[in-house]
Amino acid sequence: MARAIAVFGSGDRFHTSTSWLDSWHSFSFGPHYDPTNTHHGALLVNNEERITPLAGYDSHPHQHSEILTWVLEGTLVHQDSNGNNGVVYPGRVQRLSAGSGVLHSERNDPWPSDGEAPEQPVRLIQMTVTPDETGTAPDYAHADVDDQLDAGGWVALASGQPKHVDDAGVRIRNTGATLFAARLTANTGSTSAQLLCPEGPFVHLQVVRGSVDMEDVGALSVGDTVRLTNTGGHAITATSDAEVLVWEMHRGLWS
């Protein structure tokens, strides 16, 4: 594969809007289909979603997918057919391994421990990568990584790679993929103002808060994404306090 860098602005994404949902899709999703834009590496879904209070996705099926959820604002309540219940909030990563098949719901609902109705929309990024094997048993996990993010540097939110899996927040069933996050400050001279982008055959970067400048790319703001092929190591510098998600992938779909 040739070295390549492709930049997609936030306005380049597909958009789905309903009475309770605004969802922006980096790749073909639902009724939106472009045969030239279906995935990057093993990443099939990269959706930014905004769900109004007391609404969300009712129980629906998934299989053969590793689904990662990263909440930016508000809280999201998860329930599934294996009896797992959880609440996801900023700083907590959630992973659902759909395996041979699972039903789950994701809603902006009251959490049973307090019962208070949410007052704000939940904003989140939901991502799907393919697993190494199909037909495995479904599984669910979440982990709090807020303290690690505040300490600076790249934090492995989810990984199946041997070199990262022991340090990652949650484990995924793809031994060639890792999801990183970082919070960068814009303070002049701060060591946390700049990081180097991970390298790999396939790298996908998204700005989810603030703004950055990326070497060989330029200015990026919320919702902008960069797809890198056979490259990486580019300096990423905060131009305002920012948060960035990056997938490092060493294989494509089902390979």
| CATH number of residue 132's parent domain | 2.60.120.10
pLDDT in tens, 133-181: 999 999 999 999 999 999 999 999 999 999 999 999 999 999 999 999 9
- What is the domain count for the chain? 1
Q: Which of 179, 84, 174 is nearest to 126 (CA)?
A: 179
Instruction: Determine if residue 104 is labeled as part of a ligand binding site.
Output: yes
Whole-model pTM: value is: 0.95
Asked whether residue 51 is assigned to any structural domain, the reply reads yes
DSSP string for residues in 87-144: EE-TTEEEEEE-TT-EEEEEE----TTT-PPP-S-EEEEEEEE--SSSSPPPEEEEEE
**In sequence order, what are the residues at sequence separation of 6 or more whose Cβ sits closer than 8 angstroms to the Cβ of residue 120?**
53, 73, 74
Instruction: Determine if residue 106 is labeled as part of a ligand binding site.
Output: yes
Asked whether residue 180 is assigned to any structural domain, the reply reads yes
* pLDDT more than 70, % of the chain: 95
Asked whether residue 255 is assigned to any structural domain, the reply reads no
Q: Which of 85, 84, 60, 64 is nearest to 75 (CA)?
A: 85
> To the nearest 5 percent, what fractions of the chain are helix, strand and coil?
5, 55, 40
pLDDT of residue 232: 94
Instruction: Determine if residue 60 is labeled as part of a ligand binding site.
Output: yes
pLDDT in tens, 95-143: 999 999 999 999 998 776 566 767 799 999 999 999 999 999 999 999 9
Asked whether residue 254 is assigned to any structural domain, the reply reads no
What's the domain range around 206? Answer: 4-249
